[in-house]
A and B are shown apart, each in its own frame.
Chain A
């Protein structure tokens, strides 16, 4: 399953780091951050509950870049 989320982040490098953090989160098959469109596209592994996974993704992103937001 694939879902798109709106995000807010100021710098392009931070967006790259968010992408990396999201990819490493358990339950995420693949994630891409589009800095210019301010969007995160997350592909979930089968049988994962997107809501719960996204909470983790958000937590991990906050860890690497304090000044970011994912609108769930």
Chain B
């Protein structure tokens, strides 16, 4: 509790004690009024002052005014206890609200606090701690076990295991060695690392993320706009309603020849005023969004504004880019067929023959081979552009390439029944088999597509620049509903527009890409989601939602988090407006007294705030 809150608490306690004491005394008349005015002023003087200032500044209809009129009215009617109690409970509610908001504000900022405080630089007297802002690009910084990497860079010395959970929400450790790029925000768990910085602190991943999260709420959702508009009309409307309730029925009763019962109707009108305070609504909606965004960022899903959270919850179409999003984007050896020798030997021959090439295919051959390649075993290398390579390995002639190459040297290649890039190998003039290389789907892709359908996504679409056969096979394997292949980047935008034109207004379309080369598509979709954005500034800037690691399942969590948050938002809207409306009606016909009114005001607000904080709990989604 801060100073202001402590002072308020003291005022509330003093008032409560005074009311209990006054309840025991048997005083009547003006003395009684004077006595009750003491606790009333103790607990409510600031409200009265604010109401007066409001009137002076022509801002009549606010909560302070409602409370001032209701309580002064109650006291004038002789309902001293109720007048003081209403003010007391109103203040208790305000205190609770301010405490709860402050607490969750602190909690959430703590959760998101990944800001490194210092960087270690080797100085004359050992390690010196300096402000990361002052570290220039190209400086070598030292990160000890248990410390956060403050600035993006490349490992110069040492190896270690990094914990990326502050960024990705996953506690999957990552091994780094000399030459690896490391990003700020990760925690070094094991060895000492010397890192040469490649960026200034302000441009580093951790700063970018913090900036993004801190400015998230500047884009407001429709629900928030609705509530502020609602509050703008609602308070004056209720004030006039209360005035009408106080004046119209007595006048009618008088005209009908009965007694006016002014006291009764004014009491009802005052009850009406107490019920009507809009604070529950106005506080709980932004609080829900704030908690939702905070929880999401904890799970490795960065959402740039509450409007995107709202749109994400309505997502019915999810369009994926293929390479790098649903698949790994790296080519791997997935099979060796028709081999006339041991598979390892065939692979070794192929890797050796291709060892002088920098083509991605030669890299995947080398990786699959697993051994260090001794280039001295390779002679007479001849690259035949568009076909492959011929060479002598250990003196034996080897040809590695496509079927055209095989044809050229007078051999018939056995074609492959599977999709991918096929590398045929001939050894010593004899066809020796082929190696199949292809981009493999991420292990969680198929599950992610299934789960998306479970959370209510109507259609999943895959876009790719790849050949149709490859695209169709991946789509079948993953269970994607629709696939468009052989697309140029501009075609992807056209496809998105076609999909956007077909869908309904309330159904939103999300595009998920890796953030490289798809900025136009990201911005055209209702929501652009960049995935695996660790270290990619362009993606973080272009997207509305950033998934911190490259697991497609994160998209499912993101939608679940958004749904939960929106459910809470609607619960709060209906809860608050619903209970208030019922109580207003009951108050108008005299079935609800001042005590019910206090519940409708303070109780509903407490419930709504507690419910809003639930949006922070997203761990299990």
Contact = CB atoms under 8 A, between A and B. Distances in A.
Given A36-B217, A36-B286, A66-B53, A11 B279 contact: yes
Interface string B29-71: 0000000000000000000001001000101001100000000
A64 B217 contact: no
B282 A11 contact: yes
B63 A13 contact: yes
A41 interface: yes
A12 B283 contact: yes
B314 interface: no
Contacts of A32: 218-220
B215 A16 contact: no
A66 B50 contact: yes
Interface in B209-226: 214-215, 217-220
A13 B215 contact: no
Given A32-B218, A63-B57, A66-B53, A12 B279 contact: yes
A64 B98 CA distance: 20
A25 interface: no
Contact of B214 (A12, A37, A65, A66): A37
B35 to A, nearest CB: 29
A12 B282 contact: yes
B426 interface: no
Contacts of B59: 17, 63-65
B215 A41 contact: yes
B324 interface: no
B524 interface: no
Contact of A37 (B53, B57, B217): B217
A35 B50 contact: no
A38 B101 CA distance: 11
A4 B216 CA distance: 13
Contacts, number: 59
Interface in B497-539: none
Contacts of A41: 215, 218
A67 interface: yes
B150 interface: no
Nearest to B46: A67
Contact of B217 (A34, A66, A67): A34
Contacts of B220: 32
B215 A12 contact: no
A10 interface: yes
A70 to B, nearest CB: 16
B278 interface: yes
Contacts of A16: 228, 231, 282
B393 to A, nearest CB: 63
Interface in A58-72: 63-67
A10 B228 CA distance: 16
B303 interface: no
Contact of B290 (A4, A10, A36, A63): A36
B110 to A, nearest CB: 14
Nearest to A66: B53
B287 interface: yes
Interface in A4-18: 4, 10-13, 16-17
Contacts of A38: 105
Contacts of B98: 10
- Interface of B, secondary structure class, is helix
Contact of B97 (A11, A17, A39): A11
A10 B214 CA distance: 19
A65 B108 CA distance: 27
Nearest to A36: B290
Contact of B218 (A17, A34, A63, A67): A34
Contacts of A11: 63, 94, 97, 279, 282-283
Contacts of B228: 16, 19
Interface string B277-307: 0110011001101100000000000000000
A36 B287 contact: yes
A37 to B, nearest CB: 6
A63 B278 CA distance: 21
Nearest to A31: B218
Contacts of B279: 11-13
B538 to A, nearest CB: 21
A34 B57 CA distance: 24
Nearest to A8: B4
A36 B287 CA distance: 7
Contacts of A37: 105, 214, 217, 290
A64 B214 CA distance: 26
Interface string A26-68: 0000001011111101000000000000000000000111110
B231 A13 contact: yes
Contacts of A4: 215
A21 B290 CA distance: 23
Contacts of A10: 94, 98
A6 to B, nearest CB: 11
Nearest to A65: B59
A36 B105 contact: yes
Contacts of B278: 13
Interface string B251-284: 0000000000000000000000000001100110
B286 A35 contact: yes
Contacts of B217: 34, 36-37
Contacts of A36: 101, 105, 108, 217, 286-287, 289-290
6 shortest A-B CB distances, which residue pairs? A36-B290, A34-B217, A13-B282, A12-B283, A12-B282, A16-B228
Given A36-B217, A41-B215, 19 more contacts: A11-B94, A11-B97, A11-B279, A11-B282, A12-B279, A12-B282, A12-B286, A13-B62, A13-B279, A17-B62, A32-B218, A36-B101, A36-B289, A39-B214, A39-B218, A63-B59, A64-B57, A65-B59, A66-B53
8 contacts: A11-B94, A13-B278, A16-B228, A17-B62, A32-B219, A35-B286, A63-B57, A66-B53
